[in-house]
A and B are shown apart, each in its own frame.
Chain A
């Protein structure tokens, strides 16, 4: 149960006023039919609605405008037609959001390959356009989309997306103090059974059908592997200071953490652990319960204790 740190740069979309340029962008789309606004004056609202409609149309689809109508919206330049000028924005719109999803899901992108991930992102953008001022949570629907897409292993892709999204959430979760053994040493022994622990507010416990964390770790270590077969695992993702951690959990730690997170006392939480270890000898049971609790503390999973 070693905990592993994630790469530091993950999860912060570097917003900028620059126009992104993405290699391999699609060629300009075919022209569509003349839209309704070919006749009459366009007010500011209509100008913006049509401009936005054209640039947000998927690049693999025909633009919802013909060249003559486009020239009534945007003037041509000496070197570019009206539609070519609009298309610069269309490319930029898709490129920026694809870059954002790539920031969030680098390992999913690796597992699918560049072309498949690019296509997945374009479907994502069409289905879940951004509505907020920040891109920090733009990628939140990726696991859900993976499950519904004809991917080679949609279940594995969805698990990987859940894991990578949990890392993003841990980065943006409130920063919290972490308690250690020195803090615990201040607790009088008679108060231990009734003690309640506040789990680290950034903690997420994921129950996955596939060993996505092992796959992610292999990738991070430069030893990429083939997408694995199904094997249920539980992973804690959380942050201490500037570091985000991934920790594979055995069933005893899952039981303890989920119990304490619901507000149970330490006595009640440890009782759930003991129930899982009922088949063990008394000596082994004591050792494993103690290890379970100590490992949770040393991993930085608790932020406060109340007596």
Chain B
């Protein structure tokens, strides 16, 4: 059974990080695929692209961005979209993803994934922009549920309702980050299975897993350390509802050796059965 966008199940992948470049290029380890951080390879003509070109020759690549700012009330950045398209073509990215968030307003970029108000106004606004981006790219955009630490007082619906309605209204794909579901469930006090039960899984084309930091009063999506068992179990629950889509580990702080990182990603096999 394939997802409705017919995007391939690439298997278990890793977020490509600079600290692993040398190991990857020297040893060509058997990794199913890599996800690149889009903005690392924009606005450069130099060394980052040299590395990417070599890695994309040997491995399937998908692009994961953090500056699309799909929820912002500023105009869409057409130059950024052009650069996105050019990079996708350059590295033959299998798909392009970003986050359900905004990163700035009034011409400034905070470079953070800021939370959306979950209102009818915001839903209509984001759906219009997703459609515009997909038209520009000529391909589905996969939107990821971000971790959040705040909820707007004006919210009139839950995040899962917003995400599900957005996906249907804009006809877009979803990247479901099960660590983010877990983090937000703890920060906002909801049952993560309630979230999963509302997701249109035929639109989910990829899963993310990651570590986080528990501060007691709240959890920060730090991408530090191994994935905790409750998040792995949530991946298992999500994967069982899915059409069988790729899983990717993000590890962005205190990054260990390539071998350790890859071994952590492969733990996904224990929770998703033989499907991957």
- Measuring CB to CB, which residues of chain A are less than 8 angstroms from any residue of chain B? 8-9, 11-21, 41-45, 47-49, 51-52, 55-56, 71-75, 77-80, 82, 85-86, 88-89, 92-93, 96-97, 100, 129-137, 170-175, 202, 239, 241-242
Contact = CB atoms under 8 A, between A and B. Distances in A.
26 contacts: A9-B19, A14-B252, A15-B37, A16-B37, A17-B64, A18-B250, A21-B213, A21-B222, A48-B102, A52-B106, A79-B216, A79-B217, A80-B217, A85-B218, A89-B112, A89-B114, A89-B149, A93-B112, A96-B111, A133-B80, A134-B67, A135-B39, A137-B43, A172-B44, A173-B45, A242-B50
A21 B218 CA distance: 13
B112 A132 contact: no
Contact of A133 (B48, B109, B210): B109
Given A48-B73, A173-B46, A174-B46, A17 B40 contact: no
A48 B45 contact: no
A56 B250 contact: no
A19 B221 contact: yes
Nearest to B111: A96
Interface stretch (B3-11, B132-140, B150-158, B195-203): B150-158
Contacts of A97: 111
Contacts of B233: none
A48 B153 contact: no
A86 B121 CA distance: 22
Given A17-B144, A51-B114, A88 B102 contact: no
A45 B105 contact: yes
Contacts of A96: 111-112
A134 B44 CA distance: 9
A131 B48 CA distance: 21
Contact of B119 (A14, A44, A56, A136): A44
With a 10 A CB-CB cut-off, give which of B37, B105, B113 has the most chain A CB atoms. Answer: B105
With a 10 A CB-CB cut-off, give which of A12, A13, A137, A175 has the most chain B CB atoms. Answer: A12
Interface residues of B, number: 71
Interface in B115-144: 117, 119, 121-122, 125, 144
Nearest to B119: A44
Contacts of B47: 11-12, 171-172, 175, 239, 242
Nearest to A71: B153
Interface string B97-113: 00100101111111111
A96 B111 CA distance: 8
Interface of B: 15, 17-19, 22, 37-40, 42-51, 64, 66-67, 72-73, 77, 80, 83, 99, 102, 104-114, 117, 119, 121-122, 125, 144, 146-147, 149-155, 187-189, 210, 213, 216-218, 220-224, 250, 252-253
A275 to B, nearest CB: 35
A8 to B, nearest CB: 8
A129 to B, nearest CB: 5
Given A21-B222, A135-B111, A49 B48 contact: no
B40 A13 contact: yes
Given A17-B113, A17-B250, A136 B44 contact: yes
A73 B117 CA distance: 10
A9 B149 contact: no
B188 to A, nearest CB: 7
A12 B112 contact: no
Contacts of A14: 17-18, 37, 40, 252
Nearest to A79: B217
A15 B113 CA distance: 12
Given A21-B224, A80-B217, 5 more contacts: A14-B252, A17-B221, A44-B119, A93-B111, A174-B45
Contacts of A132: 43, 109
Given A74-B151, A96-B111, A17 B218 contact: no
Contacts of B222: 18-21
A16 B111 contact: no
Nearest 9 pairs of A and B residues by beta carbon: A133-B67, A18-B223, A16-B252, A79-B217, A85-B150, A134-B43, A18-B252, A172-B44, A88-B149
B220 A88 contact: yes
A108 B39 CA distance: 25
Contacts of A51: 114
A99 to B, nearest CB: 10
Nearest to B151: A75
Contacts of A15: 37-40, 66, 111
